[in-house]
Amino acid sequence: MILTAEWIAPLTLLGEIALLSTVLCGLHALNKRFGLAPLYVVVGLFEAFLFVAGKGNKDPNTALVAELFFAEPAHVSYMLFLPLILSSMVLVYVLEGVREVRRLLLALIVLYVLHGAIDVILEFHALHPPEGYNNLAGQNLLYYSMGSRAAGLGAMVADFAVILVSYQFLLNRLRRLPLIIPLFVALILAMVCDAMVYSLLRGRLFSWDNVMFIEKLQAGIMAGLPVAIYLQWQLRKHHDDVRRGILERGAFAALDLRKRVMEMEHMLQEQQAQYRYIKDTFSRYVSPDVVNAIIADPTKISLGGELRTVTILFVDIRGYSTLSESLEPTEVISLLNRYYRRISRVILDNHGMINEIEGDAILAVFGAPLDLPDHGLRAVRTGLGMLDEVDILNDEWDEDGTSEQWRSVGIDRFTVRIGVHSGPVVAGNVGSEARMKYSVIGDTVNTASRVEGLNKELDTAILVTSTTRETIADSESIRWVDKGRHSVKGRTEPVSVFSVVRTTASSG
């Protein structure tokens, strides 16, 4: 079959529409590598050229027109660019979601307004040329109308609503039909709506002669066919449940601002739940300023688990078993509560975290959940502060006669043993869905516990490993006494330890 001149022109325009629609699909296919920016840039160019190509339409002698089958020559601006812009909206809506297609519409509106502002600037310079240059008033290149611009903006928003609502409505009702059917019908309805809304906003009587239905029918098919094929190909790559989630939306999903508000409320509820979780998890174990810092920036911690270098402090009561046997249970609870209140305050004041309280033993962590550059020094200061608090408690118990009960069972004075060690741990949530807590795990924790036990052998109150000692600069407020290297359970290498002698300045 030999193509005549009457066939070549329509086929050329339809081929251009199909080619540019395929380009849009290809740009979206590259989104994993380049994102959606290239696609949006091209859609923006289509919108800009939609108005550039339409500037001469006011004069039949300069209008940019092309031929299609079975119809009079039509304006290239609306036949070529409008169906491409509308089909790109469906493409983004289906594969990227409601939020992203709203962003696309907003970007097109912003571009539309900027394009109008540039028209004003160009007209100003054209009407105020330098001396010796011609005044360009009346040139088609400069033509624009504020009324036409406003009507065009209204028609664009109407197109957005019509194509997405009609597409989703038809898709929900005609599930067994090929994807091209709802897409094609939605494109035609949107282009017809464009003509109707534009005429009404311009204050003109609507006429079906201005709709150019036959022309838009052909342009819609050529713009929608590549998009429909691409969508079908993309959807086949997903599982059925994912595919249903993409396709099965409400007809007014893109316009439902109430749903958007509900989504925002859901996000707010999730954030509030996270806030409560963080506060409940840490408020009893760390100082208020640490809790506030975590809430202000939850990214500072990883609740799922992370490797951190920290300092661990273990403290327990010497002779607790004998002490608890000599007192009534209520008296033991009262004693422990007074002891815990004082000891906990010292830990929190030094930005430590109370990680475990088991019987008479406390495990404190310095350097988690938030980083502490001087975690070793803070742990040692905490240990010294604990000894000071225990001295105060002993004075109080001497005054109220409580200590007399201990002496009767061979305990002269209430004392504690403290072990301090620094090293790496895994810090994060440990447990199950039923019960979970923030904890630290690793050999560093075990070693700190063993070092605390060495106090009994060395007759000391506080022992600090060389690993922690190396992180602390010499200070007049802390005096170190080398206690040598000792084997501890669970480690093949001996541990070097130091006792700490308190000075007057150390308690501050």
Ordered by where they begin, the domains of the chain are 5-255 (no CATH), 301-507 (3.30.70.1230)
Q: Which pair of tokens denotes residue 122?
A: 């160009």
Q: What share of the chain is helix, strand, coil (3-state, %, to 5)?
A: 60, 15, 25
Which amino acid appears at position 157 of this protein? V
Comparing 270 with 100, the larger pLDDT belongs to 100
Place of tokens 């079959």: 1
The rounded distance, in Å, linking the Cα atoms of 94 and 232 is 11
Instruction: Phi first, then psi: give them for residue 408, nearest 5 degrees.
Output: -70, -20
pLDDT above 80: residue 379: yes
pLDDT above 60: residue 241: no
The rounded distance, in Å, linking the Cα atoms of 133 and 127 is 10
pLDDT above 90: residue 311: yes
pLDDT at residue number 508: 42
- Give the mean model confidence (pLDDT) for residues 256-269: 54
Comparing 94 with 252, the larger pLDDT belongs to 94
Cis previous bond, 38, omega within 30: no
Q: Which pair of tokens denotes residue 249?
A: 């939306």
Per-residue three-class SS string for 243-312: HHHHHCCCCCCCCCHHHHHHHHHHHHHHHHHHHHHHHHHHCCCCCHHHHHHHHHCHHHCCCCCEEEEEEE
pLDDT above 90: residue 21: yes
User: Of 52, 187, 42, which Cα lies nearest the Cα of 108?
Assistant: 42
465: pLDDT confidence band, cut at 50, 70 and 90?
Answer: very high
- Give the mean model confidence (pLDDT) for residues 162-182: 81
Residue-wise pLDDT tens digits, 323-374: 777 777 787 888 888 888 888 889 988 988 888 888 788 899 998 877 888 8
pLDDT at residue number 505: 45
Q: Which residues contact 49 (CB under 8 A, 6 or more apart)?
A: 77, 81
261: pLDDT confidence band, cut at 50, 70 and 90?
Answer: very low
Give the pTM: 0.50
pLDDT above 60: residue 125: yes
Q: Is 311 exposed, middle or buried (0-12, 13-18, 19+ CB in 10 A)?
A: buried
Q: Is 322 strand, coil or helix?
A: helix
Q: Is the CA virtual torsion 378, 384, 387, 389 positive or negative?
A: negative
